[in-house]
Amino acid sequence: MAIHVDETNQTFHLQTDHTSYIFQVLAHGILGQVYYGKKIHVKPQYNELLKRELKTDTPAYSLDEPRFQIGDLKQEYSDTGTGDFRRPAYQVTQSNGSRITDFKYDHYEVVQGKQRLAGLPSTFDDTDDGAETLIVHLTDELIQLDLELNYTVFPHQDVIVRSANFKNHGVEPVALNAALSAQLDLPDKQYDLIQFAGTWARERHLVRTPLRSGIQAIDSVRTTSSPQQNPFMMLARPQTTDDRGEVFGFNLVYSGNFLDQVEVDQWNVSRVLVGINPAEFEWQLAPDKAFQTPEAVMSYTPDGMNQLSQQMAAFYGEHLVDVKYRRMERPILVNNWEATYFDFNDEKLLNIAKQAKKLGIEMFVLDDGWFGHRNDDHTSLGDWFVDPKKLPNGVGAFADEVHDLGLKFGLWFEPEMISMDSELYQKHPDWLIHVPKRRATPGRNQYVLDFSRPEVVDAIYAMMSKVIQDTKLDYIKWDMNRYITEMYSTALPADRQLEMPHRYILGVYNLYERLTKAYPDVLFESCASGGGRFDLGMMYYAPQAWTSDDTDAVERMKIQFGTSYGYPQAMMGAHVSAVPNEQTGRITPLETRANVAFYGAFGYELDISKMSDQEADEVKKQVAFYKQHRSLYQFGKLYRMDSPFDGDGNVMSWLVVDEQQAHAIATRYQVLNHPNAPYERLYLRGLDPDKQYRVNDSTETYYGDELMNAGIVIGSEFDDTAAVKNSADFSSRRFMIDAVQ
């Protein structure tokens, strides 16, 4: 049993295998947060933890209760304007203009398992993994507005998922000005906020800052989760490392505007809020209508950030990613984008595909430029039919040729976009998001379709369906290459324009939902100019995502290392590309490029038909090696060891280990080579201390505890790779660790 309710004291204790989350109904039906952290015993009540002193200058609930001051409470889902001056979890404007509400606890239910949400990506428990859901019902009697707070406990991954649902049973409409998914009031401020910031080609770099008094927030108003700030955030004790220490993780199953906020108040209570960004949001809730927020994911461990990442990755694998992809090894692909850009014909592409087959690659992906008359990025988005100049026999016939080679076939789409130079725009200029009579701002020379309109989603669905059927498609790369400006829908009334950002993303989810249902064998990879929409909402439909347009091996070390804090390796699209690198001009060894890309959904993105025999031979070996170890790379437990965000960032290392702790692959990367360098060691992780292992087929064996505590001396006899012999810049060293049978 994961949910313990003490009816007398109205205490709710949510227990996972290693954590406890406790809250209680306080006076006047207000929900008070009691505790979240390492598992503690179940008791009827925890009054000691709720003790409060009388605070001068803080409003009281009423004249009779001077000591009950809600501004001094740790709450579960706080209101606005009644004495708590911290930012609230929600805000409701009523027909008289007031935003004062009075939600009181009414009753609760506990249900086994976890239902999916309608119309939104969400977590689930399809495998009877012990999930239990608590629904707490609150009501504002005056306006007959109900609020349901949902908590699902996933005991074995130490995760709690929260959301809120507003239901208007009154006679008047209300407007939601804010409706966050989760609030957590922590009792002190001794935490570092760890966020993953960046921009195009530099996504998810780790930034760690101590909490300070006041509000600190990361957010997006770009209508994508964005590369600037990822919705994944951690709060870690100052001394917490990858290996030890307390840390909380928060994420949101959502791909649009988000807010992750921490407000440290005058008594050092740290209020965490996670959900849809209240900036650029409002929702008209008519009588009999409901508003369901997306889900927030929370997890805690006292055992460091590697543990947190592992438990969250395990959770997504079990309860968010489509069940069929749970352990499905992802196909090794070759993508023609960096090989040809827009300049290709069927012959050129088939040469790449044939070479791919020879090298053991499993899928050919045709990227941008196969449709309309798209020879550059100014045209044809929305015209999802083949360009006969490039593929004269049609895309179906081309797909047949690829399939006949024994390869899977994938295609690029950018479903949400429209070019002014397109047949779609000629027919439906009003489908382009814009404000009538005002300028529409282009982004990458293109515009966005109004996905809040069902007829727009229907039209794109019809076009994509035809191509999927014609090509017997195996894979779709769903791109999204600009942020949305002039957010407005000509199909919505004036008082609903602030619903547009959310309605837009609901339209995106609707198209994903329909396509994944109708074509269950198509594997989706999400993309937004690289990793601009790398989030849990996308993960629900598309189990992999293009991590970054930056394919330089050195840049990718930071990008993939940063991403690994919040997302599993199998999600991270990672390709070997040409040198000099297209984004940085850097020349890195082919071996290093592969050693970086191996820790993800692996592929190639260069003209493999033009490689030297020697390079082709090396690629063939890489592909064979990866196939042998793919499951370990994609689904093994990942341990970060040396961080590229520490010190001068010259070294990075990490390791994947299988469930039996019998096989592990560790890789250490070095940016610049230093002559006569000091001795360094690599301290392995995750091994069985009592098992004996060989390292790179060594004759001598080593105990797991020896490899983890004494480490491997870098530069020792284990280094038999070419890179070591050359001792080069941008080198990588791989250590195969195998238990002795």
Q: Which residues are marked as active site?
A: 479, 549
CA distance 99 to 101: 6
Nearer to ligand GLA, 419 or 529 (CB): 529
Number of H helices, E strands in the chain: 14, 38
- CA-to-CA dists, residue 554 to 202, 257, 581, 591, 715, angstroms: 11, 30, 10, 12, 21
DSSP label at 238? T
Residue whose structure tokens are 């280094």: 719
For Cα atoms 72, 277, 429, give the angle at the middle one, nearest 5 degrees: 160
Please report how close the Cβ of residue 540 comes to ligand GLA at its closest, in angstroms.
Answer: 20
Cis peptide bond prior to 501, omega within 30° of 0: no
Q: Which is nearer to ligand GLA, 181 or 548 (CB)?
A: 548
Q: Judged by CB, which is closer to ligand GLA: 89, or 363?
A: 363
User: For residue 647, is it left (φ>0), alpha (ψ between -120 and 50) or beta?
Assistant: left
To ligand GLA, the closest distance from the beta carbon of 529 in angstroms equals 5
Give the whole-angstrom CA distance, residue 189 versus residue 243: 22
**Structure tokens given for 62:** 């009423």
Does the annotation place 208 within a ligand binding site?
A: no
- Report the Cα–Cα distance between both ends of the chain, in Å, rounded: 39
Q: Which residue from 529, 561, 557, 558 is spatially nearest to 545, judged by alpha carbons? A: 529
Q: Is the Cβ–Cβ distance between 664 and 658 less than 8 Å?
A: yes
* Placement of tokens 């996972």 in the chain: 16
Q: How far is the CB of 546 from ligand GLA (least distance, A)?
A: 6
527 is in an annotated binding site: yes
Smaller CB distance to ligand GLA: residue 530 or 704? 530
Strand segments, DSSP code E, in 220-336 are 233-236, 247-252, 258-264, 270-276, 283-285, 290-292, 296-301, 333-335
Ligand-binding site membership of 283 (annotated): no
Residue whose CB is less far from ligand GLA, 311 or 481 = 481
Does 265 count as an annotated binding residue?
A: no
Find the shortest distance in angstroms from Cβ 548 to ligand GLA.
8
Closest separation in Å from C-beta 409 to ligand GLA: 16
In whole angstroms, the minimum distance from the beta carbon of 257 to ligand GLA comes to 21
Helix or strand run (H / E) with residue 3: strand 3-6
For ligand GLA, the nearest residue by Cβ is: 368
- The annotation status of 140 as a binding-site residue, yes or no, is no
Residues within the interface to ligand GLA (CB under 6 A):
337, 367-368, 412, 479, 481, 527, 529-530, 546, 549
CA distance 422 to 425: 5
C-alpha–C-alpha distance, residues 333 and 411, integer Å? 12
Per DSSP, what are the bridge partners of residue 186?
270
Smaller CB distance to ligand GLA: residue 421 or 591?
A: 421
SS3 of residue 235 by DSSP:
strand
Residues contributing to the annotated binding site for substrate: 200, 367-368, 444, 477-481, 527, 549
